[in-house]
A and B are shown apart, each in its own frame.
Chain A
Amino acid sequence: MVCAVILLLNFGYQTMEMPFCILKGSSVHDVGDSALHFTFYQRIEICKLRQGEHLILGFSIGGGIDQDPGQNPFSEDKSDKGIYVTRVTPGGPAEVAGLMMGDKVMQVNGWDMTMVTHDQARKRLTKKNEDIVRLLVTRKSLEQAVRHSMM
């Protein structure tokens, strides 16, 4: 049992990419106190829109390792210091690309967003030389949708 779990974990943390979602593990019975969880990701590609001299994406973010996670209305785990989408401008590039409010941003163009300060996150999204940002996001509803479709 032990061996199986370890191997599974190692496998899981290689984050092998599958087209639609990444399976991170299966719920095994008690090892210690908790079980592993499913996490589903989605890739979203946003083309920046030029508005005057700014390139905008059309959403707002909240969170960061320097922020108080307890005030995050979208996180399930109130100690999660990740970056969350708090607002999506209607009709904006983000909404068109499929980003939704409450999504947690895991990566931006390959850069990790789970362990960044708020300002670092903002900077990674607003680089002037990039026209397109590719986000890796996760959301609860997505997970549920996939679960339902799998059943």
Chain B
Amino acid sequence: MPMDRYADMEDKLRILEDLNMMYIRQIALSLQDSDIQKKIDHEIRMRDGACKLLAACSQRDQALEAAKSLLTCNTRIMAYMSELQRMKEAQVMQRVARRSDGTRSSDAGPMDDRLPCKGKVAISDLRIPLMWKDTEYFKNKGELHRCAVFCLLQVGGEIHDTDMVMVDRTLTDICFDNTIVFSEASPGFELRVELYSCCSEEDYSAGSAPRKLASKLSSSLGRSAGKKLRVAMDPGACSPTSNAGAATLLLPGPAVAGPKYHLLAHTSLSLSHVQDSFRTHDLSISGNEECSYWVPLYGSVCCRLAAQPHCMTQQMMSGCLKVKQLGGDPQSWTNVYGVLKGTNLFCYHRQEDMEANVEPAFTIAINKETRIRASEKDPHSKAQSICISNQYGGEEVTHTLSADSREETHRWMEAFWQQFCDMSQWKQCCDDLMKIELPSPRKPALVTSKQGSLYHEIVIDTSDDISTVTDILTQRMQELELRSQLGTSPPWMSLFEESPGGPPTPRLARHIPRSPHRLPHSPLSSLRCPWPGLLSSDASLTSDSDSPCSTSPCSRLRGWAEPLSLSSPRFRPRTLSLDAKLSTLRGRGYGGVLQCSCQPPSSSSLAPIPAECVPQATLSCSSSTSSNSSSEGSHSPSSLDGTPFSRPSSARRSLRNLRAKLDPRNWLQSQV
């Protein structure tokens, strides 16, 4: 029965979608604008892809990424829709105006209708400071409450999203490394910055209780999906004629299960915020502490907002000119090739010079201090000339320009007027050219091999004390020492010959028989074997896979070495605290860690996790490990054994009961 109802809703949604598309196509057709239609089609295809991915993926971070793409696609579609709507309205208004006027409105003169040039606007180095309260630490004992956040940046119809960042209370700021460039922005642009966040439950260990699941599902799924469906069912939202309805009409796709982002904060930046340095702006925060997607923001955002108007970067005008400096010989006209770019008129001897990047003969400044006027007809020549006056120091210097024909002169005047208009509109952006770094091609998400120093290999958590640091250092030194002993041949080969002194373990023997014909396997294992401490410090080892042996033998030993050669993805793995490290060393011994390197160093009540989801597993294990250690404190040695109690005999039980009664921290039992 429920399935029928759902299928019904799906059908309705699909019909609405088709109607939408028809409507959009009609508008686009009438506007004879196929460009927007193509864009909308593209976005809809992207959205479908994102929906499918969301439905298909099982890992949380994949789902978060897919949900992010979905949101971006939806926003883009809405933007295109509203643009279409506006264009349609403008067309209609124009038609109405024409009809009422009776005459075609001609250009009302270039002076009045002069439009400033467009420019590039770039926002980079976004940083949003956070403000964690003390209570945060006590509320979520050991478990890290994480949220996935990203920013959506919009100028007009252009929407870009930043990469996704995972936020937990170890971060003091949310930093987005992306540089986002909007290529065609007018000086009156409004850059809307929106911060979206989504709660990311940390991975539960195997076997979560039904209660937990229910709360998780109902909060992350039920409300959002139900809301979408309700919107679909609501007849009020479905009138295709209403303008306001048009934007909401295009529903955000079929209701998909998965993480949903919510708007956490937003702000609008404009030309007045543009500066060639970092500035802090205020954020308007929506949502409150009760929301699942809440992240305690300080309330501001720092960024570098730069703008490059086209008049500063492109040649606005070029041509042959005759220049004479006032006060000089009336006959001393210099023939130059003038190029108007930015705040200068570059005068080259010849056109070829400019193309060859030779220095110009001289430069005339054209900035907001410059005064330009057309002078009276020079009695010696037929054309009007242009006088450009500048103040250099205390002195006023005037150049006179003369073009070949009246049309040329007119064009130059036009260019100068346009320049002035641009400069007045773009204001501070025209003082100096602001640097905009082009965003580099996206770095691959997985950093494969880190080269370099010990420094890069060590992942040090600030909460670790100095002894842990020296701990790590000594381990690394040992590793390096061994490597340096090996010389040039692949380390694993030499290891085999050297047979390093590492305690062989029964479990190791079980998995990798130490027979000679098993050559490729054992050296790798014995490389790992002597340093259980290294391995038990979980993901910090998996992340630095720069050991040379990780290339050749690892490619052969798929199931075995794969977890080791996989580097940690976006998240920086948490190192264990000192307590946990010691207890793992004490409690586990050596062999258990090697059994599958993805097995977490502690809490063996977890079932062994398959190699495919290792990065996730190591991370979740490391986080659960740290949570275990922090919550259990001094009890870690005992709780890290397999099961805390074996079936006790009655004598031991009564003794334990006595001890339990005396020790308040133990687990109380009462007889009823």
A residues whose Cβ falls under 8 Å from a Cβ of B:
1-9, 12-13, 24-25, 30-34, 36-37, 39, 56-57, 59-64, 67-68, 70-73, 76-78, 80, 86-87, 118, 121-122, 125-126
Contacts and interface: CB of A to CB of B under 8 A. Distances in A.
A61 B2 contact: no
B652 to A, nearest CB: 13
A131 to B, nearest CB: 14
B222 to A, nearest CB: 5
Contacts of B302: none
B221 A5 contact: yes
Most buried by A among B58, B203, B218, B668: B668
16 contacts: A5-B217, A5-B221, A5-B257, A31-B217, A31-B221, A31-B257, A32-B217, A34-B208, A37-B213, A39-B210, A61-B670, A67-B668, A71-B666, A77-B207, A78-B605, A87-B669
Given A5-B217, A34-B204, A62-B669, 6 more contacts: A5-B221, A6-B222, A36-B210, A86-B669, A87-B669, A121-B670
Contacts of B213: 34, 36-37
A118 B668 contact: yes
Nearest to A59: B672
Interface residues of B, number: 45
A11 to B, nearest CB: 9
Contacts of A25: 210
Nearest to A55: B672
A14 B58 CA distance: 29
B507 interface: no
A138 to B, nearest CB: 11
B388 to A, nearest CB: 69
Given A1-B257, A2-B255, A3-B6, A72 B221 contact: no
A52 to B, nearest CB: 15
Label chain A's interface by main secondary structure: mixed
Given A5-B217, A9-B217, A71-B644, A61 B257 contact: no
B225 interface: yes
B32 to A, nearest CB: 41
Nearest to A48: B672
A57 B672 contact: yes
B643 interface: yes
Nearest to A64: B668
A118 B214 contact: no
A68 B214 contact: no
A32 B257 contact: yes
B669 A70 contact: no
B229 A126 contact: no
B108 interface: no
B550 interface: no
A62 B632 CA distance: 18
B216 interface: yes
Nearest to A71: B667
A72 B257 contact: no
Contact of B58 (A33, A39, A56, A71): A33
A3 B9 CA distance: 10
A4 B214 contact: no
A105 B342 CA distance: 80
Contact of A2 (B216, B257, B670): B257
A36 to B, nearest CB: 6
Given A2-B255, A3-B9, A61-B670, A73 B218 contact: no
Given A34-B204, A36-B210, A3 B229 contact: yes
